[in-house]
Structure 1
Amino acid sequence: MKILIIGSGGREHTLAWKAAQSDLVTEVIAAPGNVGISREPKCRLANVSAENIPALKDLALSEKVDLVIVGPEAPLVAGITDTFREAGLRVFGPTARAAALEGSKVFTKRLMAKYNIPSADFEVFDTFDAAESYIKGRTGSTVVKADGLAAGKGVFVCRDREEALSALSAIMKDKIFGSAGDLVIVEDCLQGEEASFIAFTDGRHVLPLASSQDHKAIFDGDSGPNTGGMGAYSPAPVVTREIHDLIMNQIMIPTVQAMDKEGIPYMGFLYAGVMIDNGQPKVLEFNARMGDPEAQPLLFRMKSDMIPLMVAALEGTLDRQTIEWLPEDAVCVVMASGGYPGSYEKGKVITGIEAADSLDGVKVFHAGTANGPNGFVTAGGRVLGVTARAAGISVAIEKAYEAVAKICWDGVHYRKDIGKKALNR
């Protein structure tokens, strides 16, 4: 099989690395990919933007690819699956209407309310004045969300009324997310511990991956602004067997069934961010793709071949599949450019990637790198996902940070507490 992977980040490097290991796969093309992908066996890059759907379709047809895997959310929401299917291509990923689970938080909250899927109480506003008046009548913590896509940065967890009003102003007046902030959701702030729950689904059956936990805030102790993710680990001890079953039976399966009842069958990765409090999970948000950086520890632990699972999802036979996992824990520490998630400089010379990669049980996934005159240089906000696998979460954490310590560039930033919550359990 010839595989085309859409996207250029750490998730896409991980997907390409995993796909290339399949005996079914002869070649992996990544568009546009990154320099880390270009160095993997069976992999090559195509210089086509992940946003240029017509050019991507032409590429897939000219290369006669057998399967397309869409990494990021933006092309899914823009309808890449619909366009490719119309051209006779096999695409693993939801249609534009189904991807509204991520593309429109208002759509998702209303769907969950209609089908009694547990989530926070909420209100929707289309004007600043109405939302401002509502927030002024609230006390305590409040969450303010932009309706549309905001690269993982459109959710503001506000401790008090003043913070909530400031977030509202940034979204609706300053338009920091553009038209994604035309509608806002104001909802109750859920308490507890967050986990990521990602599954394959064919529109009827749900095959869950192992549990994982992301670290969204930029600084240690979950402080500072949200990012696309500063690290992750798998499995997440907060997701006990009992909670796993509750998430499947109260959230994942009902959501897939709800989409089917609405006439919008959902096929692809379905990712629920859940808050767990007193043994009860509630949905924070849904994503319509594999998580990043959750992909790194999850696929580093996955023993099974990923490709037959995607084919089964396309054919509606996921109920015949199982996933085998390596017994070790895995931890990914994201190394980012100084200033991220705000403005940052590019072109900083990176040293030590090869030394880190050579450690046993370690894989360095590229996210925002480029080739410079004398090796790798920084080319993005999140630059590397340094991922380690070991028997026991404490050993995996130690190994990941041993690898991180070998890598350096001017202004590098990373959290030093990835996996700490797992240690506390």
Structure 2
Amino acid sequence: MKILILGSGGREHAIGKKLLEDNQSIHLYFYPGNGGTSLIGKNIENHHTVLELGFFAKKNTIDITIVGSEIFLLEGVVDIFNNFGLKIIGPHYLAAKLEGNRIFAKSFMKKYGIRTPKYDIFYCYEKAINFLKKYTNSIAIKTNGIAAGKGVILAHNQNDARKALKNIMIKKKFGKSGNQIIIEEFLQGKEASIISLFNGKDIIPFLSAKDYKKIEENEKGLNTGGMGTIVPNPYMTNSVWIDFKKNILEPTLKGLIIEKLTFFGFLYFGLMITHNKVYLLEYNTRIGDPEAQTLFPLMKSNFLNIIQSSFQHKSISIDWEKLCSCCVVLSSKGYPEKYESGKIITGLNSLKEPFYIAGAKKEQEKWITSSGRVLNIVGIGKTLQEARKEAYDKAKKIQFENLYFRKDIGL
């Protein structure tokens, strides 16, 4: 069997490793991939449009394509592959708008009574500024487009809010993503990530995860693509799960079916748990990164069998290890803004599994950094404390110039 995985980060390396662990005879292809994926499969060379990827998959008789990165989803890759008669895991273009267009997603939530923070939409900078004058509480300012996971700014005072609006709407820090914005009430609580599989009929949740999005410890500083994760999330208690299923998951499923937004793929619920309720902050229509790297080491079930069951309309159940995992992201200092690449990495060849390459490549038998997020180091244990200790013990073995990672993942 031939499987193509679209994306270039640690998530794609994790998907490939899990598939290969369960099915050693499969052949993996990655586009564009990274240094880690080249060790377990074949990276497709040269730049390809999504249409060219469709031709590649057809010509090379790819059996299943898995979309890791949202970039491909928002370019309509699923629609193109479906037109070619190819099997692909991911939402069609309209369903992908649940992630790619926050205003579309908020309208969907409102229509189907899905609990979400109060919000206002602005297309004009002046109107947004005027709105701020009468708003004294902390707020979340969000670009309408996803902006590589960095288009959410928390503002706790008027100055921060004005600066954020100017950067987004006037200076176009996030490009067209900031042409329209959402100003949302700020909720105090604990975040949770629930990745799930959607087979067009049912939504099957994975284990709960907690993602650490900010670059600095204690959740301060700029938003990133994720600096670490723990599984399971200690704040997802039984009562929170019940509330989530009743007020978020079930109405989401109802809305997807009524609106004909059904697909075979993944649905990510970004949640905020307050003292008595759970709220939906956002949808993603793919597996989260670095949540995937923390979840797959705990998945006992054969991942390929799960995917095939979706296509065959079979019922799906997923077995998990009764353990905890902790992922620490090792990054280049300066990420998520300016950073230097090309730094030699030492310690990687002696590192115990599980770990994943996110932004590194091999040149002349040496590993060097090639991106902002470089490595995902994962620890497994009977308790979160054990998993956390193992992850950080492993992280200490890695060295490269300008290495940076948070010290508080799982605290």
Name the counterpart of 2:185. Answer: 188
Any conservation in 2 of the 1:212–1:235 contact (CA below 8 Å)?
yes
Alignment of 1:115-126 (within 5 A): 115-126=112-123
Residue 385 of structure 1 deviates from its aligned partner by 0.4
Give the equivalent residue in structure 1 for 2:245. Answer: 248
Contact kept in structure 1, 2:333 and 2:404, CA below 8 Å:
yes
Deviation digits for residues 156-212 of structure 1, max 9, x if unmatched?
011112111111111110111111111100010011000101100112201110011
Q: % of aligned pairs identical?
A: 36
Q: Which moved more, 1:369-378 or 1:326-335?
A: 369-378
Aligned equivalents of 1:297 and 1:3: distance in 2? 22
Post-superposition shift, 1:249? 2.3
Out of 302, 306, 310, the residue aligned to residue 305 of structure 1 is 302
CA distance in 1, matches of 2:313, 2:160: 46
Aligned to 1:130: 127
Counterpart amino acid of 1:408?
A: Q
Partner residue, 1:378: 369
Deviations 1:50-70 (A, max 9, x none): x72022112111110110000
What are the ranges of 5 or more consecutive residues in structure 2 without an aligned counterpart? none
Paired residue for 1:413, among 395, 404, 409? 404
- 1:239 Cα deviation (Å)? 0.5
Question: 1:14 aligned to 2:1?
Answer: no
Query: What is the alpha-carbon distance in structure 2 between the residues aligned to residue 177 and residue 267 of structure 1?
Result: 30
Match among 334, 340, 355 for residue 364 of structure 1? 355
Please tell me whether the aligned partners of residues 195 and 268 of structure 2 are also in contact (alpha carbons under 8 angstroms).
Answer: yes
Secondary structure of the residue that 2:297 maps to in structure 1?
helix
Contact 1:142 1:161 in 2 (8 A): no
| Counterpart AA for 1:156 | I
* d(CA) in 2 for partners of 1:282, 1:194: 9
Structure 2 residue identity aligned to 1:339: G
Q: Secondary structure at the match of 1:98?
A: helix
Confirm whether residue 275 of structure 1 aligns to residue 266 of structure 2.
no
Structure 2 distance, partners of 1:114, 1:54, is 34
The C-alpha deviation readout for 1:328-379, integer Å capped at 9, x for no partner, is: 111100000010011001100000012223xxxx322001001233510000
2:386 corresponds to which letter in structure 1?
V
TM-score, structure 1 normalization? 0.94
Change (3 A) 1:241 1:48: farther
Find the aligned partners of 1:4 and 1:321 in 2 and give their Cα distance: 22
Q: Give the secondary structure class of the aligned counterpart of 1:74.
A: helix
Partners of 1:118 and 1:254 lie apart in 2 by 10
- Contact residue 34 and residue 43 of structure 2 kept, 8 A: yes
CA distance in 1, matches of 2:82, 2:36: 29
Which residue among 219, 222, 243 is the counterpart of 2:219? 222
What secondary structure, in the 3-state scheme, does the structure 1 residue paired with 2:94 have? coil
**8 Å CA contact retained: 2:310, 2:316:** no
Task: Compute the displacement of 1:25 (Å).
Answer: 5.3
Match status 1:332 vs 2:327: yes
1:315 Cα shift? Answer: 3.5
Match of 2:388 in 1: 397
1:388 alignment partner AA: G
Q: Amino acid of the residue matched to residue 341 of structure 1?
A: P
The answer as to 2:142 corresponding to 1:151 is no
Tell me which residue corresponds to 1:347.
342
Do the aligned residues in 1 keep the contact of 2:358 with 2:375 (CA within 8 Å)? Answer: yes
TM-score normalised by structure 2 residue count = 0.97
Distance of 1:217 and 1:299 partners within structure 2: 23
Shift of 1:21: 2.0
Displacement after TM superposition at 1:24 (Å): 8.0
Letter in 2 for 1:284: L
| Residue 34 of structure 1, CA deviation | 1.1
How many pairs were matched up?
Answer: 411
- Select the residue among 44, 47, 62 that pairs with 1:46: 44
Name the CA distance, whole Å, in 1 between partners of 2:238 and 2:64.
34
Paired AA for residue 205 in structure 1: D
Gaps in structure 1 of 5+ consecutive residues:
421-425
